[in-house]
Amino acid sequence: MKEHSRAFVQFLRLNRNVSPNTIRAYDTDVTQFLEFAASRDGLKPSQLKPEALDADHVRDFLGELHKRGLSRASAARRLAALRTFSKYLVRQGVLKDDATQLVGTPKREQSLPAHLGHAEIDALMAAPNLETVAGRRDRAILELFYASGLRLSELAAASLEDLNLSGRMIRVMGKGRKERLIPFNAQTASAIKAMLQDHHAETRRTRGRGEKSPLFLNLRGRRLTTRSIDRIVRQHVKTAAITTGISPHALRHTFATHLLQAGADLRSIQELLGHAQLTTTQRYTHLDVGRLMEVYRGAHPRAKLK
């Protein structure tokens, strides 16, 4: 079975629509399942047959994950990995049927990420010290996060060549290598321009031919990592005395929430966020009950009747 899992990972690497993060996650998930199934049957993983990928083994595996306190979302991701693996084995003629289709997907919890109010956003934007090079860079990071709703990985991967300052647009390569153009506002453009005027931007001109120039640099002139950007955001959240646990992902959620509250439709927000499914966007957006009633009374014909 192990040789099939290795071939599966190689197959994913050759598929340009699968991100490296997804490949690593699926590899880990399949390996974890094989170890569980072998242990359940009193075998070594090398002795496991492809037929072990059946509904009973998968259900027991998900049950074990539940006992360990794994969230439903994480369990659903592992099931998605096993389904992809099973479909691959069927296409290769290793298995006759895809038994994972007999296993129901764990229902996700309806938990919502934290988001900021408008006053908190203002406080966060005022947190960086604009008298310093790092402060001007950090302000540009925060502005772009809130103005565009980018994922942390997308913002870290942004390059100068992706940026159109005059048109106030940025080109993003999202999940599944899907490209999208995201607009941003004048405040964000101004913050980015201030950052680019700093002397450390000279290092951008030393890149090799054909090599993209990172948009956000550390003070040594290298591309900021996702970990560094996450730390920067959390540092300024603390400076702004915001008590809610706010991360870069929460800024993305704030972007979507504020657009929805201002009247933007879900389809447009879906395009801006780069979601493949509208249901994913719906989980990012939430309105308070008062706002929902306001929309309902203003839109439903019978709700207007006294």
- CATH number at 190 reads 1.10.443.10
Same domain membership, residue 125 and residue 97:
no
Same domain membership, residue 124 and residue 88:
no
- Give catalytic residue positions: 151, 175, 249, 252, 275, 284
Same domain membership, residue 191 and residue 280:
yes
CA distance 104 to 55: 10
CA distance 57 to 180: 40
What residues have CB less than 8 Å from 74, skipping those under 6 apart? 65
Same domain membership, residue 173 and residue 138:
yes
Give residue 88's Cα distance to chain centre. Answer: 25
Q: Which domain-ending residue is among 53, 76, 102?
A: 102
Same domain membership, residue 224 and residue 161:
yes
- Tens-level pLDDT at each residue, the chain (306 residues): 778 888 888 888 887 567 788 888 889 988 888 888 888 888 887 787 878 788 888 888 888 888 888 887 788 888 888 889 889 888 888 888 888 888 887 766 555 667 788 888 899 999 999 999 999 999 999 999 998 888 898 999 999 989 999 889 999 887 767 788 888 889 999 999 999 988 544 555 555 556 778 999 998 888 999 999 999 999 998 888 886 667 888 888 888 888 877 777 777 778 788 776 666 666 655 544 455 556 566 665 655 554
Range of the domain at 75: 2-102
Same domain membership, residue 148 and residue 95:
no
Q: Which domain-ending residue is among 102, 130, 149?
A: 102
Q: Specify the CATH number for the domain of residue 8.
A: 1.10.150.130
305 in any annotated domain:
no
Same domain membership, residue 220 and residue 163:
yes
108 in any annotated domain:
no
Same domain membership, residue 129 and residue 56:
no
Count of the separate structural domains present in the chain: 2
Same domain membership, residue 282 and residue 168:
yes
CA distance 11 to 92: 11
Q: What is the DSSP letter of 145?
A: H
Q: Which domain-ending residue is among 102, 131, 152?
A: 102
107 in any annotated domain:
no
Same domain membership, residue 207 and residue 63:
no
> pTM (2 decimals)?
0.59
Give the residues across from 180 on adjacent strands: 172
Same domain membership, residue 35 and residue 176:
no
Where do the DSSP E strands lie in the chain? 163-164, 169-173, 179-183
What residues have CB less than 8 Å from 62, skipping those under 6 apart? 75, 78, 79, 103, 106
300 in any annotated domain:
no
